[in-house]
Amino acid sequence: MYDVLRTGPSEGNAMPDVPEFALQERPQHDLRRIGAHPDHWYPLAWSREVKRGRPYAAQFAGEPIVLVRPHAGPVYALEDRCAHRQVPLSQGVVDGDALRCCYHGWTYDATGRCTDVPYLGKGKLPNGVRAYPCREKDGLIFVWPGDGEAGALPDLGHVADPAFKVRRFGRVVGCHYSFMHENLMDMNHQFLHRKQMGQIAPRYVGRRAGPDWIECDYTFARTGGRQPWGEAAILGRRSGASTQHRDLMRIRTQYPHQTLKIWISGDDPVMQLWINYVPVDRAQRSNRTFGLIQVRRPKVPLLLDLAWPVLVWFTERIFAEDRAIVEMEQAAHDRQGADWNQEVFPVIRELRALLAECGAPMDTPVAP
């Protein structure tokens, strides 16, 4: 019954040539021990999570970062540990536009400078804490955790475009960010979603790459079963099975972000996903996922609103299945202590090389 998933190598746009490989093949580097490069913008929170006057404790790869929305002025980001005794500043008190540590009341401004120690003279103030470039855009709070000069914010697509309806989703997933990139880019895993998607056959139709990006195209055929309602909410209603491949899906890793776009006709995608996987712990064995699903509103816009709960349920189910499987991958890696992956799909091999090349050495883990 699962034969429908097989896409033969018989056509022009077939699976690219796959060399023989041996069972003992091991990568030179272990991708799962390469860190996300800090010299990029990463979302550390949804805007709604960072309330005025309430410090918010975030993390990037084990580095504690406090986000502060002062009573006036833009959100800012500081190292989340007091210079004095290293307790989290996120436990402190927003005082005007400054942040006061909860323990002895040491106070820092938006640049991290220590501006007050209640029991010290002004001339004796100690050094402060690190401040990070911080920007808010389209409901996300971005931080630049690296030392390099902050560049432009990423293009999030149509999030601010009223012609699109947006769903924000995500949660902490217990795996290295690279498993997430590979999961989304390899559409050959539709077998995993057989209960949600029914019998659907992806076909690889090409790829392109640059120094810090790779993208891959697929078409799909529904070879059996009914179209799921969640899919119908995005692509429109279709009836019956067919061996005809249609639609175009393009998945792109633009380091460190990822996008997925679907076209059913014309130049404009009917659906677009922007997603980023932000390492949480120092060993980067978990990531917080921030996803923005953007669906073009149909001619009768109310239809999309009516279908929205179905779409939400559908995408949550798919995401839950993906989360479960990537966490199994991480657990296998933990147990084995190494990456035993035997990849046969060249696109994923290239994606892995890209992620390794664009990444950064991981900090030596701190003893627990």
CB of residue 158 to a second copy, shortest distance in Å: 31
Strands 172-173 vs 287-296: parallel, antiparallel or unpaired: antiparallel
Alpha-carbon distance values, 345 to 20, 135, 159, 168, 184 (Å): 12, 38, 32, 30, 13
DSSP SS3 for 309: helix
d(CA 44, CA 56): 10
CB of residue 166 to a second copy, shortest distance in Å: 29
Q: What is the DSSP letter of 39?
A: S
Cβ–Cβ under 8 Å, residues 44 and 90:
no
Nearer to a second copy, 83 or 214 (CB): 83
d(CA 137, CA 141): 6
Nearer to a second copy, 121 or 240 (CB): 121
CB of residue 350 to a second copy, shortest distance in Å: 16
Which residues have CB under 8 Å from 363's CB, separation 6+? 35, 61, 62, 282
CB of residue 117 to a second copy, shortest distance in Å: 7
Token pair listed for 332: 């296998």
Q: Which amino acid is at 217?
A: D
Nearer to a second copy, 135 or 189 (CB): 189
Token pair listed for 112: 């991290």
Number of CB atoms found within 10 A of residue 107's CB = 22
Nearer to a second copy, 84 or 297 (CB): 84
Nearer to a second copy, 141 or 175 (CB): 175
CB of residue 219 to a second copy, shortest distance in Å: 13
CB of residue 269 to a second copy, shortest distance in Å: 24
Which residues have CB under 8 Å from 22's CB, separation 6+? none
| φ and ψ of 365, to 5 deg | -60, 140
Nearer to a second copy, 62 or 139 (CB): 62
d(CA 117, CA 124): 9
Site residues, a second copy (CB under 8 A): 1-3, 5-9, 15, 18, 20-23, 62, 64, 81, 83-88, 91, 93, 95, 100, 102-105, 116-121, 124, 126-127, 186, 188-189, 191-192, 202, 204, 282, 325, 328-329, 332-337, 340-345, 366-368
d(CA 306, CA 229): 12
Buried b (16+ CB within 10 A) or exposed e, 167-178: eeebeebbbbbb
CB of residue 167 to a second copy, shortest distance in Å: 25
CB of residue 233 to a second copy, shortest distance in Å: 26
Nearer to a second copy, 188 or 253 (CB): 188
Element (H, E) at 247: strand 246-254
Cβ–Cβ under 8 Å, residues 99 and 55:
yes
CB of residue 344 to a second copy, shortest distance in Å: 6
Nearer to a second copy, 158 or 176 (CB): 176
CB of residue 260 to a second copy, shortest distance in Å: 18
Number of CB atoms found within 10 A of residue 332's CB = 12
Nearer to a second copy, 127 or 239 (CB): 127
Nearer to a second copy, 133 or 346 (CB): 346
